Amino acid sequence: MSPTIIPITDFIRKFGSYADQLPMLEELILTRDGRPFATVKATAQEKNREFLRFFGAWKGTPLDSDSFWKTVRTRRNRTKQVVF
């Protein structure tokens, strides 16, 4: 995913829209006079909150697989599952 580049004035005018999109973006680069000025990123907690909204969306459907969800909840570097 490539970063999104926008003018800082556009960011100020449409802050609410960009704030909603930020957890789904890698980073947002703001420019001033055509040159990079600042980088804006969502916090890890906000990205996780957005991810958890969709977590388990396939439960109860034909695409449901408990072994798949067990794999999703277990990170490679973690021996225990994430429990919610």
Residue 14 confidence (pLDDT): 95
Share of the chain above pLDDT 90, in %: 33
Lowest mean pLDDT among 37-41, 48-52, 61-65, 67-71: 61-65
Say if CB 51 and CB 70 are below 8 A apart.
no
Q: For the segment 30-59, what is each residue's pLDDT rounded down to a tens digit?
A: 999 999 999 999 888 888 887 777 776 766
Global confidence as pTM: 0.58
Strand order in the sheet with 28-32: 4-7, 28-32, 35-40
Can you list the domains of the chain with their CATH numbers?
Answer: 4-40 (3.40.1620.10), 44-73 (no CATH)
The mean per-residue pLDDT over the stretch 48-77 comes to: 71
Q: Which residue has the higher pLDDT, 80 or 24?
A: 24
